[in-house]
Amino acid sequence: MDARGPSSDSSPWMPFESRRRARDEKRDAVLRTAVHLFLEQGYHRATLNEVAERLNITKPALYNYFRGKEDILFECWALGQERVDDFIAGIDAAGGTGLAKLRKLIRAYAEVMTTDYGASLVRFDPRDLTEKNSRVVRAAKRSIDRTFRKYIADGIADGSIRPRDPKLTAFVIAGSLNWIGHWFQRDGAMSAEAIGSEFTERLTEGLAAKPARRRAASTPAKRRKSSGGTR
Amino acid sequence: MDARGPSSDSSPWMPFESRRRARDEKRDAVLRTAVHLFLEQGYHRATLNEVAERLNITKPALYNYFRGKEDILFECWALGQERVDDFIAGIDAAGGTGLAKLRKLIRAYAEVMTTDYGASLVRFDPRDLTEKNSRVVRAAKRSIDRTFRKYIADGIADGSIRPRDPKLTAFVIAGSLNWIGHWFQRDGAMSAEAIGSEFTERLTEGLAAKPARRRAASTPAKRRKSSGGTR
DNA sequence: ACTTTTTATTACCTATGGGTAATATACGGC
DNA sequence: GCCGTATATTACCCATAGGTAATAAAAAGT
What would the pLDDT profile of A80-114 be if each residue is shown by its tens digit? Answer: 999 999 999 999 999 999 999 999 999 999 999 99
CA→C1' distance for A15 and D3 (Å): 18
Whether the predicted pLDDT of A56 surpasses 80: yes
Task: Give dist(CA A110, CA A191) in Å, integer.
Answer: 11
pLDDT of residue B13: 52
Q: Given CB atoms, is A42 within the 8 Å cutoff of chain B?
A: yes
pLDDT of residue B4: 40
Q: Please answer whether residues B154 and B97 qualify as being in contact, where contact means their C-beta atoms are separated by less than 8 angstroms.
A: yes
Contact A176 B175 (CB under 8 A): yes
Quote the distance between the C-alpha of residue A146 and its chain's center: 14
pLDDT of residue B55: 97
Residues 67-96 of A with CB under 7 A from strand C: 68-70
Contact A127 B41 (CB under 8 A): yes
Contact B208 A231 (CB under 8 A): yes
Report the first-to-last Cα separation within chain A, whole angstroms. 64
pLDDT of residue B124: 98
Whether the predicted pLDDT of A220 surpasses 70: no
> How many cross-chain Cβ pairs, A to B, lie less than 8 Å apart?
106
Contact B44 A41 (CB under 8 A): no
Q: Please answer whether residues A51 and A95 qualify as being in contact, where contact means their C-beta atoms are separated by less than 8 angstroms.
A: no
Whether the predicted pLDDT of A18 surpasses 90: no
Whether the predicted pLDDT of A227 surpasses 50: no
Where on strand C do bases come within 7 A of a protein Cβ? 6-11, 16-22, 28-30
Q: Given CB atoms, is B205 within the 8 Å cutoff of chain A?
A: yes
pLDDT of residue B210: 73
Contact A199 B172 (CB under 8 A): yes
Banded model confidence at residue A60, pLDDT cuts 50, 70, 90: very high
B24 compared with A210, residue with greater pLDDT = B24
CA Rg, chain A, in Å? Answer: 22
**What residues of B are in contact with residue A199 (Cβ under 8 Å)?**
168, 172
In order of A185, A194, A201, B168, the CA distances from A189 in angstroms are: 9, 10, 19, 12
pLDDT of residue A215: 47
Task: Give dist(CA B231, CA B92) in Å, integer.
Answer: 33
Task: Give dist(CA B104, CA B118) in Å, integer.
Answer: 16
For chain B, which ranges sit under pLDDT 70?
1-16, 211-231
Q: Please answer whether residues B228 and A228 qualify as being in contact, where contact means their C-beta atoms are separated by less than 8 angstroms.
A: yes
Q: What's the whole-model pTM score? A: 0.87
Instruction: Determine the nucleotide nearest to B47 by Cα–C1' distance.
Output: D17
Look up residue B209 and give its DSSP letter: P
Please classify residue A204 by burial: count the beta carbons closer than 10 Å to its beta carbon, then call 0-12 exposed, 13-18 middle and 19+ buried.
buried
**What residues of A are in contact with residue B168 (Cβ under 8 Å)?**
195, 198-199, 202
Q: Pick the residue from chain B with its C-alpha nearest to A200.
A: B172
pLDDT of residue A42: 98
pLDDT of residue B14: 61
What mean pLDDT do residues A3-17 have? Answer: 51
Task: Give dist(CA B42, CA A133) in Å, integer.
Answer: 17
Q: Please answer whether residues A54 and A35 qualify as being in contact, where contact means their C-beta atoms are separated by less than 8 angstroms.
A: no
SS3 assignment, position A208:
strand
Q: Please give the mean pLDDT across all residues of chain A.
A: 88
pLDDT of residue A91: 98
Q: For residue range A122-178, what is the model confidence (pLDDT) as tens digits? A: 999 999 999 999 999 999 999 999 999 999 999 999 999 999 999 999 999 999 999
Q: Given CB atoms, is A188 within the 8 Å cutoff of chain B?
A: no
Q: Please answer whether residues A180 and B175 qualify as being in contact, where contact means their C-beta atoms are separated by less than 8 angstroms.
A: yes
CA→C1' distance for A64 and D5 (Å): 13
Q: Pick the residue from chain B with its C-alpha nearest to A179.
A: B175
Q: For residue range B153-188, what is the model confidence (pLDDT) as tens digits? A: 999 999 999 999 999 999 999 999 999 999 999 998
**What residues of B are in contact with residue A142 (Cβ under 8 Å)?**
none
Kindly report the backbone phi and psi dihedral angles of residue B220, in degrees, each rounded to the nearest multiple of 5, phi listed first: -90, 45
**What residues of A are in contact with residue B127 (Cβ under 8 Å)?**
41-42, 45
pLDDT of residue A21: 78
